[in-house]
Amino acid sequence: MRPLYAVPASVGLLGAATLGYASLVERNAYTLRRYDVPVLAPGSAPLRLLHVSDVHMLARQARKQDWLRALAELRPDFVVTTGDNLGDPDGVPAMLDAMTPLGAFPGAFVLGSNDYYAPRPKNPFKYFFPGHKRVHGDPNPWQELAAGYRGFGWHDLTNRRVSTEVAGHRVELGGVDDPHLRRDDLSVADPPADPHADLHVALVHAPEPRALDRFAASGFDLLLCGHTHGGQLRLPGYGAIVTNCGIDRARARGLSRYEAAWLHVSAGLGTSPYAPVRFACRPEATLLTLTG
């Protein structure tokens, strides 16, 4: 008689094949997604915005670096990165080198938790319990990363609002520091959106509703976030298993309405080095064409 705890060989083979696909194939299947977003006044010229997030760069990831450099061939009007650029403390030079071609275009950024702290091993089942205690790794050299992005001429939107001209449009930009770490100063979101601007865009690393609600209530048109990795492991017909924040699973990646605003949550380009798998959730950057 077969022991009750025995696992059929076919199940073991399927599990091994799935793990191999998730860790060796899909995790490296970088994808460019495209969306049209009707946020401009009717008749306005379109504005092409490239959204990059959650790269989790390691110095050894040459293929990912090459893929990022090639994004400059899209010639976007504006580049946005919504944090978690770093996979370890040695990732800053590789990240800045990979982003240098995109630095030729106007842009803006906020940082995420993994820019401030290096990852460390953790029990993945903790993600099923939102109130779990967070344990941080060693500090990352985030100041070097931010200085490099500012050196491109990009706007640092860490708890700030600024106005700028992009492709003939007057754009108001707002952003907060990472809500996941509770570094966000939400008073930045409270003043009403500039009525003279053609477009209002907010950057928030983790799509926590408390931050999104405030920007949407003040009249921002487009909210850009990362952090969720799109769930990283998704089940066909079900979607993201967890989001690792307060956003609902249905909005863990992609474009959706959020009150009167549009919300785009990037599934990101990377993973923690301690959980290097993706399933039904390819790594991505997104080209958003903003239209009237």
What is the predicted pLDDT for the residue at 6? 52
Q: Which of 196, 251, 197, 199 is nearest to 222 (CA)?
A: 199
Residues 6+ apart with CB under 8 A from 98: 57, 64, 65, 66, 68, 69
- Binned at pLDDT 50, 70 and 90, residue 1 comes out as very low
* Stated length of the chain: 292
At 24 the pLDDT is 85
Tokens of 46: 């379109």
Of 10-14, 17-21, 25-29, 249-253, the range with the lowest mean pLDDT is 10-14
- Is 238's pLDDT higher than 70? yes
> Exposed, middle or buried, 39 (CB in 10 Å: 0-12/13-18/19+)?
buried
Q: Residue 115: which H helix or E strand, with range?
A: helix 113-116
- Mean pLDDT score across all residues of the chain: 92
According to the model, what pLDDT value does residue 120 have? 84
Query: Which of 66, 53, 163, 165 has its CA nearest to residue 106?
Result: 165
Return the number of other C-beta atoms located less than 10 Å from residue 21's C-beta.
15
Distant-in-sequence contacts of 150-156, Cβ < 8 A, 24+ apart:
151/103, 152/99, 152/100, 152/102, 152/103, 152/104, 152/107, 153/103, 153/106, 153/107, 154/79, 154/103, 154/106, 154/107, 154/108, 154/109, 155/107, 155/108, 155/109, 156/108, 156/109
Torsion of CA 195, 255, 118, 122, to 10 degrees: 140
Structure tokens at 176: 């907060």
191 pLDDT exceeds 90?
Answer: yes
Instruction: Give the residue among 160, 155, 153 at the shortest CA–CA distance from 108.
Output: 155
What are the pLDDT digits (tens) for 98-153?
999 999 999 999 999 999 999 888 766 566 556 656 677 899 999 999 999 999 99
> What does the pLDDT look like over 59-102, one tens digit per residue?
999 999 999 999 999 999 999 999 999 999 999 999 999 999 99
Q: Which residues contact 219 (CB under 8 A, 6 or more apart)?
A: 192, 193, 200, 260
Rounded to whole angstroms, how far apart are CA atoms 220 and 200?
5
What does the alpha-carbon distance between residue 266 and residue 284 come to, in Å, rounded to a whole number? Answer: 7
The stretch 172-183 carries a mean pLDDT of 97
CA dist 143 and 101 (Å) reads 21
pLDDT digits (tens, 9 = 90+) for 143-172: 999 999 999 999 999 999 999 999 999 999
* Tokens read off for 220: 């921002």
CATH topology of domain 32-291: Purple Acid Phosphatase; chain A, domain 2 (3.60.21)
> What pLDDT score was predicted for residue 136?
78
Listed by start position, the domains of the chain span: 32-291
CA–CA separation, 268 vs 168, rounded Å? 29
The DSSP string of 2-31 is: --TT---HHHHHHHHHHHHIIIIIGGG--E
